[in-house]
A and B are shown apart, each in its own frame.
Chain A
Amino acid sequence: MTLVNETTHIQVPKNPKKRGGRSVLSRGVEALLTNRVVLLAVLIVVVLVVMTILDSAGQLSGAYNADYLASSLISAVPLAMLGMAQLLVILSGKGGIDLSVGSIVSLTGILFGFAYGPGGWDFVPALILAVVAGGVFGAVNGVLIAYIGFPPLIATLATYYAYRSLALVISNQKPVSSESIQNFYSAAQSVEIPVIGATIPLIPLGIFTFLIPTIIVVWIVLNKTTFGRRLYAIGTNDVAAQWSGINVRPNRMAVYAISGVISGLVSVVTVAQFASARPDAGTSGNGMALPAITIAVLGGVAITGGIGRVSGIVLATLLIVWLNAGILLALPGNDGSQFQLLALGLVLVFASLLNGLTKRKYGGI
């Protein structure tokens, strides 16, 4: 270390030694590791810079510019919303996790599709149906977990099977579609924002109609309501929460119901995106639960409960979405989607190792 030399040369009080002899560098590292929002912001900038350099070097198959980034946000809508659902359930602690979100998306999507399409319902009642149905399916998880004492992993594994099966059986394994559902595709298109629209790229409509309202509501619930404060308390230590007068069970059940409600909303988004209600919308491939859990862990949610913020989810989603979009340009076609798997896996492993490391080294995320 050259600290001593520096101080003797400069001989002014503004030397880098402060509080316990730590350098600016080590404090910077601590800020980066303990404040997940800072880390994610830095990583997003790194991804954007690297991709822009690759782009200007002619290594990408398309332009990695503001228009492309804005249009790729379409995939951020379901990801961030389900990430928000996982934030709530993981926050609630005791192994909280929801594997069934993808199946709820599939099943409520089919119900919405039947109502809005062949059923001839108006949009608003059909949307309400999807949301209520999602809430009921989530509440089933909640009852099993909060009142009967199922480990969340097992309860949501069982309902993952059950809901997925129901979605496939009631739809006869065929997508539900009709003219009104196909026209509904317009809800997934990009729009110009009023007033400042001409100067910034077109943004997918779903960002405004579904994602931003969800973000705002979840943020208010977590930070401005007693329910939110109770949730952090339960997640940190549910016995202590019980003793401090919180009725743990209904609160724990509520988060799973809310997770179902958000999944119901996501199902409407996916119906718009596919222009049909697909029975495997939330479960095809690796399903939607895995990316959502990845987003939550990457966003700094502690898997043990009690720690996590909405801003982390939002930034983690942007990182994953823009990284995926870049990979798709760098490696078009099959290669791209395969490397997206690799990226998601590596990010998840490193994010959780990082969570463990920061917890041991600095305490807390």
Chain B
Amino acid sequence: MTLDERTKPAPQSGRPAAAATAKRILPLPVTGQEFVLIGVLIVLWILLGIFTPAFLTPNSIQPLLVSVAPIALIGIGMTFIIITAGIDVSVGGAIMLCAVIVAKTLVSADIPLIGAVALAVAVGLVLGLVNGFLIAYGRVAAIIITFGTANIFQFLALRVFGSSTVNGIPSTLEVFGRGEAGRTLGVPNSFAIMIIIAAVAWWYLRHASGGRHLFAIGGNANAARLVGIKVQPRVLIAYALTGALVGLGACFILASGTATLDQSVGSGKELQVIAAVVIGGTSILGGRGSVIGTVLGAILVQTVTSGVTQLGWPSQLANLFVGIFIIIAVGTDLLRERARRKA
């Protein structure tokens, strides 16, 4: 950590900031970066609506929301982690392990929906606790530890897989799926659940003392410790929460596919999630971020992916746009920060 980072005050922590937010939430619970994102999304949707007439129809929007749900859901947990100045790149491996354990269990035993979800969340929670424990109490760089555990989770998942695919998964999870059974009043259930969890997470980060502590830890962990915040348990909880959300997200992903699960299930998901979070305005250096931004970021990433396919462009081009969006989103934020410091 360099001098100028250390001397920077922890943003948005403590009383005055809380009072300011309380004033701000009354009209609209969104801030600068989020307005920009909403604007970009509206422009994108209008453009896509013009160039691909099928885009702004329920048949196109509903699958889009289904694909947003797991990314945004896991992104909520990742937002908590990144606010504490951490990161978790083991999400892909964890999704793979949760999904294959649930899929294998569903194939071999007749368990109800609630059992399957509980199993996935429990597995994810354990994986998150492993990460959190190593990072909080081992006091090592989160990116290195989670790179390591990513490999270990992936290894375990491949051992559970046994063969390259799991076939004939029963439709127990279809209430989270793309089909008719996965919707209530036209809104995908998985998306609705994600929004509810996002609302709770938003409230927790903005108004609960535990949430405020996460910002303080990310702003300056040593200062947070000195004012009496229990840093290690809070960090542990952030990773454990992400693990649990990975479990639920794995159920969503499992439900949105066919009755076959293959080994590519989690591949690249960690980067998609991190992309959604940073596009949503959460600072990778910690201390600043929002759940609403993450949800919007996830919608943006999936809109781009879906839009590229619907325009008939090579699907791989979507990644180029995601990369460009990351640079634009983080770049404008950096320039704004610089202007603010000069002013």
**Interface, chain A (partner B; CB < 8 A):** 93-94, 97, 144, 148-151, 153-155, 157-166, 168-169, 172-173, 237-240, 286, 290, 293-294, 297, 303-304, 334, 338-339, 341-342, 344-349, 352-353, 355-356, 360
Contacts and interface: CB of A to CB of B under 8 A. Distances in A.
Contact of A293 (B87, B147, B314): B147
B196 interface: no
B226 to A, nearest CB: 19
Contacts of A154: 278, 284, 326, 330
Nearest to A293: B147
A345 B316 contact: no
Contacts of A160: 271, 323
Contacts of A173: 314, 316
Contacts of A345: 148-152, 154-155
A169 B313 CA distance: 10
A348 B319 contact: no
A203 B53 CA distance: 60
Nearest to B161: A338
Given A157-B323, A352-B138, A352-B148, 11 more contacts: A149-B338, A153-B143, A154-B278, A157-B278, A161-B319, A162-B319, A162-B324, A165-B318, A290-B147, A304-B1, A352-B145
B274 interface: yes
B133 to A, nearest CB: 12
A239 B3 contact: yes
B147 A348 contact: yes
A28 to B, nearest CB: 24
A242 B314 CA distance: 46
Nearest to A348: B148
A356 B140 contact: yes
A161 B322 contact: yes
29 contacts: A144-B331, A149-B338, A150-B331, A151-B284, A153-B87, A154-B284, A154-B326, A161-B319, A162-B319, A162-B324, A165-B320, A168-B316, A169-B314, A169-B316, A239-B2, A290-B150, A294-B147, A303-B143, A342-B152, A345-B148, A345-B149, A346-B148, A346-B152, A347-B148, A348-B147, A349-B134, A352-B138, A352-B144, A353-B134
A96 to B, nearest CB: 11
B151 A158 contact: no
Nearest to B138: A353
A163 B324 CA distance: 11
A239 B147 contact: no
A168 B87 CA distance: 28
